[in-house]
């Protein structure tokens, strides 16, 4: 994933914003958990939301796309991550037990 990520990010950026791929790629890669600790948590989920925000701030997606970013793109991301979590038995990152809304995801409670 880390090898393919810059190319994937470049594919969604217009020509004049290609240089931004270097800044956006870490957000994308870090959205899918930590490969060293084999964990995933709300920080990774928030990193994906930050990536979506950056795309909006750069004008890659417009105001008319915001509902779709949450209801389509983010929802598919959550489904993918639930599959990854259960397939690879990812540990919850920084779990605080009863103190957290969810060990893995919290933004659905906000949106």
Residue pointed to by tokens 């009863």:
98
Residues in the chain: 111
**Number of structural domains the chain divides into:** 1
> What pTM did the predictor assign?
0.84
| Residue 39: its H or E element | strand 39-40
Q: Determine contact, residues 78/105, Cβ cutoff 8 Å.
A: yes
pLDDT digits (tens, 9 = 90+) for 10-58: 999 999 999 999 999 999 999 988 778 777 878 888 999 999 999 999 9
Taking only the tens place, the pLDDT of each residue in 52-108 is 999 999 999 999 999 999 999 999 999 998 888 888 887 666 655 555 545 556 777
Model pLDDT, residue 5: 97
Structural domain for 76, as ranges:
5-110
If you average pLDDT over every residue of the chain, what do you get? 86
* Residue whose C-alpha is closest to residue 109's, from 57, 63, 45: 45
Q: Which two tokens stand for residue 102?
A: 């969810």
């Amino acid at each position: 994933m880390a090898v393919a990520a810059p190319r994937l990010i470049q594919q969604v950026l217009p020509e004049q914003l290609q240089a931004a791929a270097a800044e956006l790629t870490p957000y994308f890669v870090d959205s899918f958990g930590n490969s060293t600790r084999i964990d995933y948590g709300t920080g990774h989920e928030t990193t994906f939301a930050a990536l979506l925000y950056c795309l909006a701030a750069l004008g890659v997606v417009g105001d008319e796309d915001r509902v779709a970013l949450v209801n389509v793109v983010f929802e598919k991301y959550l489904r993918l991550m639930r599959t990854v979590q259960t397939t690879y038995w990812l540990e919850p990152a920084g779990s605080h037990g009863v103190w957290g809304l969810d060990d893995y995801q919290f933004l659905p409670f906000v949106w």
